[in-house]
Structure 1
Amino acid sequence: MDVKQLQTFIVLARLLNFRAAAEELNYSQSTVSDHIKNLEQELGVRLFERLGKKVFLNEEGKKLISPARKMLQDTEAIHELFNKGEKVHGSLRIGAAETLCAFWLPPLLREYSKLHPRVRITMKMADCLELPELLEKNIIDVAFGLHDESKRKDLFQIDVFDDFTAFIASPDHPFSTLNKININKLENQSFILIESESGYCMELKKLFQKLNVRVDTIMELGSIEAIKQCVKEGLGISLLPRIAVDKEIKNGELVMLPIETDNILIHAKMLYHANKWISAPLEALKDIVLLKKYGEVSS
């Protein structure tokens, strides 16, 4: 059975669009069609239903998903057996929360690319709660998020680092010159927070509820950069990871408010599926992460 046909099938089953599959695989659309046609002829079944311009995975196609993924992983494992003496090469698909994607991963990946220039890296930014599903569907090989998934037995989780958060405001905000701010002073203030159902923003909302602090409005945006711009314009206060705002605080575009409360931390995690074949590129990434955290590599 042609491995390339199975790879095409997996991508098309996920995207359900021949053009999008061709773009991701760097094939022509006719090549994608030929791969699927030849695979269907070999198996003697239809794998997709084509209704007009729409494509649907049928029951026969759904049955092929799991064995096709396993066969691709087995093929990759076989190649690894005979490439031990060569430099690490292949592909690595990474999913990450915006905070880590924008402010922590770039220097780590720069170091990784210097060590392993033959690895092709693709990045996908996603909400923390989406990352487990992306791993489960084999859309990504590894994830970096801020949500604790330790209760899930199907995921391996490595704690990467902890960082502080900071309450921020514009330099013109009335609170910007205060030396101490009781958290009750936040009553009736406007807040601009990241859209998320987990992590530090949820911790802040829980804190407000616990202390019965009623804020005026909470504007939720999907981008940290958008939040920072709104805060600079004086539209409200925000809580963001320190790594995301250090630059603006240092150059005076934002100020950190001295709110008297326990620090709300972020906890960065590296995640990969328990059944995932640990390829050489993934193993090399894991080694760099562990080296930065503990000064040792994985065994």
Structure 2
Amino acid sequence: MGGVFWDVKQLQTFIVLTRLLNFRAAAEELNYSQSTVSDHIRNLEQELGVKLFERLGKKVFLNAEGKKLIAPAQKMIQDAEEIHELFNKGEKVQGSLRIGASETLCAFWLPPLLKEYSKIYPKVRITLKMADCLDFHELLEKNIIDVAFNLHDESKRKDLFQIDIFDDSTIFVATPDHPFSDLEEITISQLEHQSFILIESESGYSMELKKTFQKQNVKVDSIMELGSIEAIKQCVKEGLGISLLPRIAVDKEIKNGELIALPVETNNILIHAKMIYHVNKWMSAPLKALKDIVLLKTEK
């Protein structure tokens, strides 16, 4: 094989294009021109003597030959990063860090951490991707992100390292003028025929609440499921129903009097915040620095 195949930038372009399957989107993410992305892929295909993508009209598809290249390309990119760092240990931590985070942590916990991190390591370029907790396993496995901050990972997968960050309680919230606002104690059965607005998810605290309703045979009038905590809070403020949310997500509204906490008797549905990365993931300097800060905070 000639030297062209070993061009790490071309391999990086290939990996991004396998994920986005769009030359324009790949160019924007890589900060290249679209013609540069096309040249990188063309040179790879010429060097290997195979087509890596099929182009049908304006659509791009990864073919069988392209799928075979993903794993070795990712390894070569990682090896190149390790070599680069090996001879730059005297320099300050620099490079890139791709972080995935659930909405709760992305909005209410992660910003101060990233502010502190960026202040200490200004040369690290951070990319933050908000996603559903159920998506992080695949994102880590495909090396789309380096690390994830999520909630409720009960998979116990052996190919993932998990660091416990903190536990937090959930809380039932409603408008201050809700009929239940004057009650000192509310049982689960009293929630019968109430309307609920919950986060859209197949796991976590919303599913725990649904299981509790089923177990105690409590039938609610309706359950509206939304993908955004901010949207849920707005709907609750408009009196559209009750919600169960992490305390960290509603502390501000409760203090401001926009929402109230309802004293519902439950088995204390908790959230468990975790930092997760793949066991085969190379611990780059930016990733190790982030892990060190997180571990320091969990020890406090």
- TM-score w.r.t. length of structure 2: 0.97
Equivalent in the alignment of 2:160: 155
Equivalent in the alignment of 2:148: 143
* Partners of 1:155 and 1:274 within 8 A in 2: yes
- Give aligned-pair identity as a percent: 83
Residue among 3, 7, 22 paired with 2:8: 3
CA distance in 1, matches of 2:265, 2:161: 36
Unpaired stretches in structure 1, ≥5 consecutive residues: none
Equivalent in the alignment of 1:287: 292
Residue among 258, 264, 270 paired with 2:263: 258
| 1:26 to 1:149, Cα distance in 2 relative to 1, 3 A | farther
**Structure 1 counterpart of 2:206, which letter?**
C
1:209 aligns to 2:214 (yes or no)? yes
Q: Secondary structure at the match of 1:83?
A: coil
**Structure 1 counterpart of 2:252, which letter?**
K
* Partners of 1:3 and 1:72 within 8 A in 2: yes
Alpha-carbon offset, residue 151 of structure 1:
2.0
Equivalent in the alignment of 2:95: 90
Matched residue count: 295
**Structure 2 counterpart of 1:269, which letter?**
K
Equivalent in the alignment of 2:39: 34
Q: Secondary structure at the match of 1:181?
A: coil
Equivalent in the alignment of 1:223: 228
* Partners of 1:129 and 1:147 within 8 A in 2: no
CA distance in 2, matches of 1:279, 1:132: 19
CA distance in 2, matches of 1:235, 1:45: 57
CA distance in 2, matches of 1:40, 1:121: 31
Equivalent in the alignment of 1:117: 122
CA distance in 1, matches of 2:197, 2:184: 22
CA distance in 2, matches of 1:109, 1:122: 11
Equivalent in the alignment of 2:66: 61
CA distance in 1, matches of 2:147, 2:85: 18
Unpaired stretches in structure 2, ≥5 consecutive residues: 1-5
* Partners of 1:95 and 1:125 within 8 A in 2: yes
Pick which of 194-203 and 208-217 moved more: 208-217
Q: Secondary structure at the match of 1:85?
A: coil
CA distance in 2, matches of 1:208, 1:291: 39
CA distance in 2, matches of 1:290, 1:90: 21
Alpha-carbon offset, residue 149 of structure 1:
4.5
RMSD of aligned residue pairs (Cα, Å)? 0.9
Alpha-carbon offset, residue 261 of structure 1:
2.1
CA distance in 2, matches of 1:91, 1:17: 22
**Structure 1 counterpart of 2:179, which letter?**
P
1:180 aligns to 2:185 (yes or no)? yes
* Partners of 1:91 and 1:121 within 8 A in 2: yes
Deviations 1:46-100 (A, max 9, x none): 1111111111111111111100000000000111111211111000001111000
**Structure 1 counterpart of 2:230, which letter?**
E
- TM-score w.r.t. length of structure 1: 0.97
**Structure 2 counterpart of 1:290, which letter?**
L
Equivalent in the alignment of 1:243: 248
**Structure 1 counterpart of 2:270, which letter?**
L
Equivalent in the alignment of 1:46: 51
**Structure 1 counterpart of 2:151, which letter?**
L
Equivalent in the alignment of 1:72: 77
1:270 aligns to 2:275 (yes or no)? yes
CA distance in 1, matches of 2:269, 2:79: 43
Alpha-carbon offset, residue 147 of structure 1:
2.4
Deviations 1:224-270 (A, max 9, x none): 00100000011000000001000000000000001122211100011
Equivalent in the alignment of 1:19: 24
Q: Secondary structure at the match of 1:267?
A: strand
Alpha-carbon offset, residue 111 of structure 1:
0.6
